[in-house]
Structure 1
Amino acid sequence: MHDVTEPDQPTKRLHEDGTSILLICEHASNFIPEEYQGLGLSPAEQASHIAWDPGAFAVAKLMQAPLDASLVACDYSRLLFDCNRSPDQRDAIREESDGIVIPGNKDLSAFEKNQRTQRFYKPFNEKVDRVARKNSVIVTIHSFTPVYSGQKRNVEIGILHDADARLADALLLGARNSTIYDIRRNEPYSASDGVTHTLKVHGVDKGRLNVMFEIRNDLIRDLKSQRTVADMLCNTLQKALFEITSKKTRVRTA
């Protein structure tokens, strides 16, 4: 995992409201250690979206200082183990992704799968749990490919949630008529696709506000576009959290 980096500039209003944020990037890297021999994939396949979420970690880093947030990111390719999946999910270690067979993941024994769990998932999950104890808001940052299984995706930014939709609702309300992007609820994935593991474990189950951002990766290919998206997400998130905390204050004083 990338080290948890400390925020550069405090955002007093958020902290005074008890709203401290943990940004999580489970698919930050496409790194595959040498001993795995690239899982039998070509260099181009190892660099593609099947191995990581291009641009997601860059956006997360740009969001960190404005939000005074903590940040935890996984250092390894999700093809070794997808840290946004539980070990009992079938796609935690994929044998195929977007039509590409992953030879190094084929026919793994239970022992080999457990080794992957212990090496990649367990340390990441434990670090997230440790850092999350200091925070009341969980935000995961992902990116997705514009074309998947031959189908074009028109949605530009997805706001995903599981059973707890409080933060997603506030974000979607605040995003109306205030952004140039096509923003939709639970697209291009939803909880039924099994993509909300981190939100459930570290957010929903612990009573923390939580949400997942899915950003189409053609929108965050360079620093300028990454900064544009990061600024928009920060502004929208801050407004949503302010509305939620203000509502709580109004209820308490009513």
Structure 2
Amino acid sequence: MSGLLSARDGAPVAIERAEAKSDIVLICEHASRRVPESLGDMGLSEDLRKSHIAWDPGALAVSMLLSEALDATLVHQRFSRLAYDCNRPPEASDAIPEISEVFEIPGNRGLGPVERAARAEALYLPFHQAIDDLLVARQDAGRSPVIVTIHSFTPVYKGVVRDVEIGILHDSDSRLADCMLARASDGYDVRRNQPYAPVDGVTHTLRRHALTRKLANVMIEIRNDLIADAIGQAAAAGYIAGLLGECLEGEAL
């Protein structure tokens, strides 16, 4: 294990359904709120370590349902974005945030280059190497992977109420997003590049793995009050699976 992670912590990345038949590769960068043992409580209360600043509540549950429904491989991070946000490159200041939303993160305050590099080496690099290895193997086998990242967001952010329920986000390649938005039916308030957009730095995983390989891709954001329980998670997963299925069959793209 790395200096940051102990044997009890285990691996920084998990892969579900590695041999799945679908070309879809699901990625959940903010799946866990666990903090490596070596970082303690990071100076935060238990409530904050359970809150959205630490992870995307409901995102992993929806990802697991999608993985099952679509027979798709899922890659997910096993540690909190408070330790390292795997949807940010090492040079990004918010890869290891000193402030998240309005909350200071004492465990991240004043880290030097060596400490930041150690976090990236332990958490970011293995996560993205696992994705790279998976995509290379798929392409070497003549397959055309489709990257779908799954996130959740808060109903209220810094006092502003968010009406959008599902965001379909994209960077410069909007093929899959365009198709999903065109087919989005009643049931959810679905919007393009909301509540975040590429200018917010949220498309790093898409840029690193999909745009460089010219692979179809999309980032999906779900309002977390809608996926707070099993019923909501199943409904959202069913809806998203339907959109992906319609867009990826035949010549939809």
Q: Same fold by TM (over 0.5)?
A: yes
2:93 matches 1:84 = no
2:153 matches 1:153 = no
AA in 2 matched with 1:85? R
DSSP 3-state at the match of 1:128: helix
AA in 2 matched with 1:144? F
Deviation string 1:181-218 (CA, Å, 9 cap, x unpaired) is 00000000000000000001111111100000000000
Q: Which of 104, 119, 122 lines up with 1:119 in the alignment?
A: 122
Deviation string 1:83-135 (CA, Å, 9 cap, x unpaired) is 00000111101000110000010110111000001001000010011112325
1:246 paired residue number = 251
2:197 matches 1:197 = no
Deviation string 1:206-239 (CA, Å, 9 cap, x unpaired) is 1100000000000000111100100000001110
Q: Verify the 8 A CA contact 1:26 1:73 in the aligned structure 2.
A: yes
2:215 paired residue number = 208
2:61 matches 1:68 = no
**Alignment partners' CA distance in 1, 2:81 and 2:244:** 27
TM-aligned CA deviation for residue 9 of structure 1? 7.9
Q: Verify the 8 A CA contact 1:9 1:65 in the aligned structure 2.
A: no
Deviation string 1:36-76 (CA, Å, 9 cap, x unpaired) is 12110000000000000000000000001221110000000
Q: Which of 177, 183, 187 lines up with 2:194 in the alignment?
A: 187
Q: Which of 84, 104, 109 lines up with 1:106 in the alignment?
A: 109
Q: Any runs of at least 4 consecutive aligned residues in structure 1 with deviations exceeding 4 A, and if so which?
A: 7-10
Root mean square deviation, CA, Å: 1.5
**Alignment partners' CA distance in 1, 2:186 and 2:220:** 15
**Alignment partners' CA distance in 2, 1:247 and 1:183:** 19
**Alignment partners' CA distance in 2, 1:8 and 1:191:** 31
Q: Which of 9, 16, 19 lines up with 1:5 in the alignment?
A: 16
**Alignment partners' CA distance in 2, 1:57 and 1:3:** 11
Taking structure 1 as the reference length, what is the TM-score of the superposition?
0.89
Percentage of matched positions with identical amino acids = 48
**Alignment partners' CA distance in 1, 2:118 and 2:214:** 31
| Equivalences, count | 236
**Alignment partners' CA distance in 2, 1:28 and 1:212:** 14
Q: Which of 217, 220, 223 lines up with 2:224 in the alignment?
A: 217
2:6 paired residue number = none
Q: Verify the 8 A CA contact 1:50 1:79 in the aligned structure 2.
A: yes
Is the alpha carbon distance of 1:129 and 1:223 closer, same or farther for their aligned partners in structure 2, counting shifts above 3 Å?
same
2:183 paired residue number = 174
Q: Structure 2: any 5+ residue segments left out of the alignment?
A: 1-11, 139-143
AA in 1 matched with 2:76? A
AA in 2 matched with 1:215? I
**Alignment partners' CA distance in 1, 2:221 and 2:45:** 26
**Alignment partners' CA distance in 1, 2:69 and 2:75:** 16
AA in 2 matched with 1:236? L
**Alignment partners' CA distance in 2, 1:234 and 1:71:** 14
TM-aligned CA deviation for residue 34 of structure 1? 2.3
Taking structure 2 as the reference length, what is the TM-score of the superposition?
0.90
Q: Verify the 8 A CA contact 2:179 2:252 in the aligned structure 1.
A: no
Q: Verify the 8 A CA contact 2:180 2:243 in the aligned structure 1.
A: yes
Q: Structure 1: any 5+ residue segments left out of the alignment?
A: 249-254
DSSP 3-state at the match of 2:41: helix
**Alignment partners' CA distance in 2, 1:143 and 1:199:** 16
**Alignment partners' CA distance in 2, 1:123 and 1:9:** 21
Q: Verify the 8 A CA contact 2:88 2:95 in the aligned structure 1.
A: yes
The structure with more helix, counted as a fraction of residues: 1
TM-aligned CA deviation for residue 78 of structure 1? 0.3
**Alignment partners' CA distance in 2, 1:154 and 1:66:** 28
